[in-house]
Chains A and B, each alone.
Chain A
Amino acid sequence: MLIGGSPVTVPYANKMAESQKEISISDFFAKNRQILGFDNPSKAMLVSVKEAVDNSLDACEEANILPDIFVKISRTDNKDRYLITVRDNGPGIVKNQIPNVFGRLLYGSRFHAIRQSRGQQGIGISSVVLYSQLTTGKTTTVISKIGEDYPCHRMEIHINTKTNRPQIINSEVILWEPHHGTEFSCEIEGRYQKNKKQSVQEYLRSTAIVNPHVQIVFEDPDGEVLRFDRVVDKLPEPANESKPHPHGIELGVLKNMLQYTEARKLSSFLTNEFTRISPRGARDIISQAGLTEKTNPKKLKLENVQTLYDVMLKMKFMAPPTDCLSPIGDRLIRKGLRKEIDSKFAYTVTRDPKVFLGTPFQVEAGIVYGGEIPPGDQVQILRFGNRVPLLYQQGGCAMTHAIERINWRPYGLEQRGGKGIPNGPAVILVHLASTNVPFTSESKEAVADVDEILDEIVRALMDCGRRVKSHINKKNKLKKVSEKYTLIKEILPEIARKSSSIVGRPQIQLDPVITKIMNVHVIDSGIIHREVGDQKQTEVTVKVQNYTQKERKFKLLVKVPDTLIQGVYPENFNMKDGAIEWEVGPISPARSVHLGFTLLGLDQDEYDEVEVYYSRLPGEVIGADPL
Chain B
Amino acid sequence: MPPDRPDEFRILVPESDRGRVERVVTRRQALLAGGGVAAAAYLAGCGGSTSSSGGGGGGGAGEESAERPPTPADGQVEDGDLLMANWVDYSDPANYKAYKAQHGPKVSVSGYGSNEELLAKLRAGGSKFDVVAPSGYAVKTMADLDLIIPLTHELIPNLGNLSPAFTKTDFDPGNVYSVAKNYGVTSFYWLTDTVSEQPATIKECFDLLKTPRFKDLRVNFLEGGTQVMAMALAALGFSINSEDEGEIEAAKQLLIDVKPNVDAINSTFIPRAQRGEIDFGMGWNGDVRRAIVALAEKDREMVYLIPEGKTEYWVDSWAIPTASAHPVAAHKWIDFVLDPVNAGKEMNYHQYPVPVQGIKGVEEELADDPVINVPDARIQGYESQIETAKGLQQRNRAYTEFKAA
Task: Say if A and B assemble together.
Answer: no
